[in-house]
Structure 1
Amino acid sequence: MKKGILFLLIFTGLILPAITHAHVKWFATVDPEKVSIEQILSPLFITITLLCAVILAVLSQVMGKLMDIPLAAKLDITLDGFRKYSRHLLKYGTALSFILQVSYGTMFAPEFAITDLWQTVVMWLIIIFLLIPHHYSTKIAALFMLGLFINVWGQAGWFHMLDYGFYLAVIGVLLVGRTKFETIGFPFLYLGTGLSLCWVAVEKWVYPVMTTEIIQQHHVPTFGFPADIFVLLSAFIEFVVGYLLVVGILNRVLSVVVTVLFILTTTIFGYTEVVGHAMIHFVLLIFIIEGVSFYKPPIRIHKTRLDQMIFVSLNFIFVLSTILLIYYRFA
């Protein structure tokens, strides 16, 4: 029991830097300044990448031991009993997050302001249809969400909106409810949320000046690290969190820790943080309830421990390299 609590405390301390400034676009006051690829791929960057790959390989084998803790096993059984409410939580949680957004005068994120009356009307239509307890009403709301998302996408650009790709996953889950494709909904939500976190993390490597400015302006603690090193490390931690969600490791523990930290960041960034991360809170709450009950994680494809360790580590390097190069190419 003591070992489990110690692990959670250490893990919380490690990922705090990443979550503290998860969406730099919301709070940065300086123009984005793209650094060269040579600056990003520094010896320190490559060293940390390899170190993360090794740690993830080991983590894939030791995290199952958490369930040997009596309290963790009991909690797991308790959470299983709430799975029947997961879709209701997503439906009404989305409605609540949209109420917060429209009252704040924004759509999907604090950076997208409502500028026309029709956008306000559509936001309220989404909310009303989500609050109606019928799956056809839910699908209508999802279609309105998709149309509004595409409209914002057209204005902001596809590259920018990839930060919020998890909304497409949410829309997908709402659309496939009560259909033969229902079982693929939540796995898609895992994938979309994890990749969104990875994508946002890369921004800190490509545009480190924005994050550094936020650290200085809001007096974010760097725990003794220079600001540039702190930004590099926090981006790695955020990327690893997203990757772990995708490969199906530590989902419940991750969701609990990230949710607590999102709540703590409101003390730094205030109500904007609440509005911006409300939807993510409900998604993480679903992950806490569901664990990997419906999701066959990619790591399960491999049967032996050695194969799983090799898969997790090499796949991490591949995913990181691919997302970083795509982001840099179109940034």
Structure 2
Amino acid sequence: MAACLGLVAIGPAHAHVKWFCAYDVVGAPRGLESVLCDDFEKLVALSILALIVGGLFENTVLGAAMVRFLDRTTGWIRTNTELLFRAVCGGFFVALWSFGGIILTPELTTTNPALSWLQLAIAAGFLWRATLPASAAGIVALFAIAASQYGAFHLADYPIFLGLAVYFVLIAFQRDLFSLRPIDVVRYAAAVTLMWASVEKWAYPDWTFPLFIEHPTMTMGFDGEYFMKAAGAVEFALAFALICSPLIRRIAAILLSAAFVAAIFQFGKVDAIGHAPIIVAMIAIAADNTTAPLRHRALALMPMGYAAALAAFIGLYYGAHAILYGSNIL
């Protein structure tokens, strides 16, 4: 039941709450004793079960058939991945320039008019491969400015932008980052971004409650507290799946892109523009046809890896908040 709830309602749940509701990053998050409850444990168990089933499916004849189907249907995207990234990110920064007063995302506001022209220059840099490093430097500069104004903890929501900056540098020089291809860098950055966002859903579910008043169908009749735990659990599982085996991560990317697109119909153009870079990243990941056999040992270790990632992100989120703002994590 919880898994079905999450998959059906994940679209509206992926609207970035800071763009539409009041929030207080400095305020104390929910104590861990109220987060790590029975419902949470059941949702985690369901998430692990779903990942294991996905891994087993990947090694079947049906799994191989799905890989072939995805390869056929995503051929154009795979061939034009660089073009899609440049076009979408170019449009994103033109939109920021047009709106004005925004650094990178709607809640990161500024009164500095020079930043709008920097955004336009970043967009122009996407026109030529030779100028991609300059655009990447501009993205990093905007990220640093936002971090200086809003704090590193707030900007931990958005490592996807740093991943995109590295992607464009690697594309410009036709290089890998050690053994990571440019698309792999984006994939890992997206996974980190979404896993951090999942913990925020558990830590501050009350930020989203005003949206439930405006959009009562979001919770599908479930209690708001439980809904936020379920939405966070599904998002974390799909984000973790992005760093798993090829078919699992492609399916996760499809589900995540569908979720972000679904949220646009309910929350409008602000959500469309704000999520455009991560939507194109999910589409590119879904089209990536790199293959690697899923070993039984890797499948057996998946629950341990998931548990370690879950503990690490919860610990990092709450630990960083306690250190920076003096909150009581219990």
Structure 1 residues 146-203: Cα deviation after superposition (integer angstroms, max 9, x where no partner): 1121111111111111111011110001011224336532111111101111100100
In the alignment, is the contact (CA less than 8 A) between 1:15 and 1:238 conserved in 2? no
1:215 is the counterpart of 2:207: no
Task: Report the counterpart of residue 84 of structure 1 in structure 2.
Answer: 79
CA distance in 2, matches of 1:291, 1:212: 40
CA RMSD of aligned residues (A): 2.4
CA distance in 1, matches of 2:89, 2:106: 16
In the alignment, is the contact (CA less than 8 A) between 2:5 and 2:230 conserved in 1? no
Task: Report the counterpart of residue 3 of structure 1 in structure 2.
Answer: none
CA distance in 1, matches of 2:9, 2:75: 31
Matches within 5 A, 1:219-298: 219-248=216-245, 249-292=247-290
Q: TM-score, normalised by structure 1?
A: 0.85
Task: Report the counterpart of residue 327 of structure 2 in structure 1.
Answer: none
Matches within 5 A, 1:125-274: 125-131=121-127, 133=128, 135-177=129-171, 178-181=173-176, 184-248=181-245, 249-274=247-272
Task: Report the counterpart of residue 13 of structure 2 in structure 1.
Answer: 21
Residue identity opposite 2:84 in structure 1:
L
How far has the Cα of 1:68 moved from its partner?
4.5
C-alpha change, 1:320 and 1:266, in structure 2 (3 Å) is same
CA distance in 1, matches of 2:41, 2:145: 39
Count of residue pairs the alignment pairs up? 311
How far has the Cα of 1:33 moved from its partner?
5.4
C-alpha change, 1:36 and 1:219, in structure 2 (3 Å) is same
Structure 1 residues 265-311: Cα deviation after superposition (integer angstroms, max 9, x where no partner): 22221121112111112111211222445xx6xxx6x73x2x22321
In the alignment, is the contact (CA less than 8 A) between 1:212 and 1:231 conserved in 2? no
How far has the Cα of 1:328 moved from its partner?
1.2
CA distance in 1, matches of 2:254, 2:4: 10
Task: Report the counterpart of residue 35 of structure 2 in structure 1.
Answer: 40
Structure 1 residues 40-86: Cα deviation after superposition (integer angstroms, max 9, x where no partner): 1112212322332233223211145444447x624413424542321
Structure 1 residues 97-124: Cα deviation after superposition (integer angstroms, max 9, x where no partner): 1112222222321111242121011111
C-alpha change, 1:76 and 1:11, in structure 2 (3 Å) is farther
Residue identity opposite 1:138 in structure 2:
L
Q: TM-score, normalised by structure 2?
A: 0.86
Residue identity opposite 2:265 in structure 1:
T
In the alignment, is the contact (CA less than 8 A) between 1:95 and 1:127 conserved in 2? yes
Secondary structure of 2:219's partner?
Answer: coil
C-alpha change, 1:16 and 1:166, in structure 2 (3 Å) is farther
